[in-house]
Amino acid sequence: AVTEPDLRAFGSRFGAAEEAALRNAVREELDLRGFAERYGSGESLLLLDALFAVCAVDGVIDRAEIGRLTRSAGELGIDPQLVGALFRKHDRRRTDGTLTFELTDERYAIGRSTSADIHLADPQAAERHADLVRTGGAWRVIDLGSGRPTLLNGTPISAAPLAPGDELRIGGHLLVLGADRATLRVGAPTSFSALSVRHLDRKIGNVTLLDDVSFTVFTGEVIAVVGPSGAGKTTLLSAITGSAPADDGDVVFDGRDFHDQLALDPSLVGIVPQDDVVHAELTVEEALSWAARLRTPRASEAEIQANVERVLGEMDIVHIRASRIGDAVRRGISGGQRKRVNVGQELLGRSTRVLFLDEPTSGLDPNTAQEIVGLVRRLADDGRIVFLVTHDVSPSILAKVDHLLVLARGGRVAWFGPPDEAMAWFGVTTADGIFGRLSQDSPEAWSQKYRDGASFRKFVRTREHLLGLDGVDIRRTGQKRPRSANFRHYLTLTNRYARVKVRDRAGLFVLLAQPPFLAVAMWLVFQHVEASVLFMLALSSLWFGASASVRELISERPIWRRDARTGVGTLPYLLAKLTVLGAIATLQCSLLAAMNWVMLRMYAEDYAFSLPGLMGVASLTGWVGMAMGLLLSAVFASSEGAVGMLPLLIIPQITFGGLLVKLKDMGPGSAMLAWLIPVRFAFDALIRTGERLDRIDPRTNDPILETTSSTLWQFGFRTTTDVNDAGVPMSALIAILLAFCGLLLVATAGLVHRSRAS
């Protein structure tokens, strides 16, 4: 019951009007539950705050009052997370880390239950989380199997000895045994932050994707986002992270617009997609090291290595640091270990406060899935907010979850609150049954039913009241992302990409074997240095560049989006691709040109072909092919589509390149199309790198040595026999090839930039 001292304390703290309302409620003999129903979540929170203030004497809440306050909170319908916040607010020992328990008995129960000997006002701790047992002159910690981890010096345990100086972590609290083994000090909980989603709406045409979605989560909480397909789970997470903002509503983190904060520091958020976003060719340590360099480009080598060591330890993957990651085709580390590497990459920024994991247990065996969810639980207990998009709502998974966010179709919130209360709300015995219940009524009905219930007041409205967000307009300031370290990013991306290509030995062998194979084939087919040799050199060079690059952007698209989210720009990303692929194309084209020059004796005085000229034009043509392949890779979503399109671009090079049908024999339309064919200009330029060529007499099949000027006229690259008619000058041909390359790369850059948030 509310006593007269309680009423006076409430009035002195919140004013006469609030005291009068409370006295009126007492006169009407309302109990606390009735008070909450009549006056709402705001007044209920104020009343509980007053009760805490009354019970706190000199900043200390006596153990005898803990049970009373906790029961009052339950009757008022106050979220346990807020109750914990009030304990920290009014009991200074729980904030400054001076809460100490004298250990005089043989056994102590640790947990958030009011009957626990060592009470932790922390929803992340289980009701009965662990026991502390004296064995002889030492102490032993025994985990009670609540599903929430008990960590000793960072390692999950089931039972282990506790020595002075050891760090025992339960929920968000750190417990340390005194040197005399007679006291146990409870450290201050991890930092407290809140993420509030307020009235998010999104539509595409007449289709509703999100409908007035509101909830608030705190650090240390794991939120499982569940719902049928099309319920808006991915849309909601995209709206929270700002990759696809909502039409209306806002997202607030610690009182400021979350998207403004992300613009200044993208590492606040970590996103782990369902599929692994790692290079299979790298080792675990290499993957983390390069990811750290991209996230902290201005850090020293020592700082980067320290960061990598921290994540290796936190993810418990130190023992596989030198192992190749691999994938489903190339054997490497296990699926669960790859998932840890994926999560670890998102933790390399020390400021990561919010994590989103999409189906982290998909494709994993039950034991590995349990390990991953246990890892998720520990990440939250370390002071992060973790969203878990999942279809796995088995009891072992839900035991580590604080809240279920159930979305009905159309992005409507059907429930937000603890899993056990969700099952009672939906009238099912297992969480799997929730999906069946959703289909038994309309999404609008489920959403309205939840909003009208006490659970909405308890888990949504009271949190908003605690943070003082009611009616507060949080305005975006339009923060712009700080200037990125483009050059450092370019160096890192280039080194990483080069390592990936070198590690793919089979692919690299194929690329390097192509020029010798084609050179030998051309030597066997062509007995003379004729124009066909130069056409094949031009066509092969274009093929080298295109075939080596046509899959590259597609295969790395998820990695590119992750890197872009952390601040990597489009320019350094593409320049890194151009550096490595360009080097490979230059090597291939130069090797083929040099082998042709030697094997066909193009250096002979009769022909006098310039080796640097051949290599230069062939390499430039290879770069044009590389730009063409990259554009296809940027346009298509699948490798099959891009590779299938490649022949459709190569065949016109043969048809309109000037060899099969000479330019002077083409009709007006064909001649116009020939100006869009890079091989036509490469063929022309390659002819000009020598002085004479063989022409095969069709009657006798004997070679006739002709000047290259005559050959240019034969193929239509010169329109007259006038000695002053040189056709398109060599400098112009080079400029045209450079223009092809530049235009293709500009188009590619635009598509790549657009894809960063797709």
- 430-445: per-residue pLDDT in tens? 888 998 899 899 999 9
Question: In the prediction, which pLDDT does 46 show?
Answer: 82
How sure is the predictor about 482, in pLDDT bands with cuts at 50, 70 and 90?
low
Question: In the prediction, which pLDDT does 719 show?
Answer: 79
Question: In the prediction, which pLDDT does 700 show?
Answer: 83
For residue 408, the cross-strand partners are 412
Q: Which two tokens stand for residue 31?
A: 């109990």
- Please say if the pLDDT value at position 688 is more than 60: yes
Distance of alpha carbon 252 from alpha carbon 191, whole angstroms: 17
How sure is the predictor about 2, in pLDDT bands with cuts at 50, 70 and 90?
low
Q: Which of 291-295, 503-507, 725-729 has the lowest mean pLDDT?
A: 725-729
Question: In the prediction, which pLDDT does 42 show?
Answer: 76
Q: Which of 92-106, 170-184, 300-314, 470-484 has the lowest mean pLDDT?
A: 470-484
Mean pLDDT comparison of 7-11, 132-136, 152-156, highest-scoring range: 132-136
Question: In the prediction, which pLDDT does 680 show?
Answer: 96
Q: Which of 163-172, 463-472, 505-514, 571-580 has the lowest mean pLDDT?
A: 463-472
**Whether 50 contacts 78, CB under 8 Å:** no
Mean pLDDT comparison of 59-63, 344-348, 503-507, 518-522, highest-scoring range: 518-522
Average pLDDT value for residue range 613-617: 97
- Residues 373, 375, 378, 383: is their CA dihedral positive or negative? negative
How sure is the predictor about 479, in pLDDT bands with cuts at 50, 70 and 90?
low
Average pLDDT value for residue range 503-509: 92
Distance of alpha carbon 541 from alpha carbon 622, whole angstroms: 5
Question: In the prediction, which pLDDT does 145 show?
Answer: 86
Question: In the prediction, which pLDDT does 742 show?
Answer: 97
Question: In the prediction, which pLDDT does 126 show?
Answer: 87
Question: In the prediction, which pLDDT does 29 show?
Answer: 56
Question: In the prediction, which pLDDT does 223 show?
Answer: 95
Q: What is the pTM of this model?
A: 0.81
How sure is the predictor about 308, in pLDDT bands with cuts at 50, 70 and 90?
very high
Average pLDDT value for residue range 385-401: 89
- Please say if the pLDDT value at position 725 is more than 80: no
Q: pLDDT digits over 576-604, tens only?
A: 999 999 999 999 999 999 999 999 999 99
The DSSP symbol for 260 reads H
- Please say if the pLDDT value at position 610 is more than 70: yes
Spatial CB neighbours of 145, under 8 Å, sequence gap ≥ 6: 158
Mean pLDDT comparison of 12-21, 33-42, 398-407, 531-540, highest-scoring range: 531-540
Average pLDDT value for residue range 651-658: 94
User: What's the chain's average pLDDT?
Assistant: 89
Question: In the prediction, which pLDDT does 25 show?
Answer: 66
**Whether 282 contacts 330, CB under 8 Å:** no
Question: In the prediction, which pLDDT does 361 show?
Answer: 86
Domains of the chain: 4-90 (no CATH), 99-189 (2.60.200.20), 194-268+352-482 (3.40.50.300), 278-350 (no CATH), 486-757 (no CATH)
Percent residues over pLDDT 90 in the chain: 56
Question: In the prediction, which pLDDT does 405 show?
Answer: 96
Question: In the prediction, which pLDDT does 556 show?
Answer: 92
Q: Which two tokens stand for residue 421?
A: 């209360």
Q: C-alpha angle 264/485/278, rounded to 5°?
A: 85
How far apart, in Å, do the first and last CA atoms of the chain sit?
A: 57
Percent residues over pLDDT 70 in the chain: 94
**What's phi and psi for 408, nearest 5 deg?**
-90, 170
- Please say if the pLDDT value at position 14 is more than 90: no
- Residues 336, 341, 347, 353: is their CA dihedral positive or negative? negative
**What's phi and psi for 709, nearest 5 deg?**
-65, -40
- Which value, to the nearest 10 degrees, does the dihedral of the CA atoms of residues 493, 497, 499, 502 take? -160
Smallest Cα–Cα separation from 276: which of 73, 36, 556?
556
- Which value, to the nearest 10 degrees, does the dihedral of the CA atoms of residues 451, 457, 459, 463 take? 120
Average pLDDT value for residue range 12-39: 71
Distance of alpha carbon 208 from alpha carbon 411, whole angstroms: 7
Average pLDDT value for residue range 265-271: 89
Question: In the prediction, which pLDDT does 657 show?
Answer: 94
- Please say if the pLDDT value at position 323 is more than 80: yes
CA distances from 645 to 546, 628, 639, 648, 675 (A): 11, 11, 10, 5, 21
Spatial CB neighbours of 456, under 8 Å, sequence gap ≥ 6: 416, 450
Q: pLDDT digits over 76-100, tens only?
A: 888 888 888 888 888 888 888 888 9
**Whether 45 contacts 82, CB under 8 Å:** yes
Question: In the prediction, which pLDDT does 11 show?
Answer: 72
Question: In the prediction, which pLDDT does 724 show?
Answer: 64
Question: In the prediction, which pLDDT does 726 show?
Answer: 73
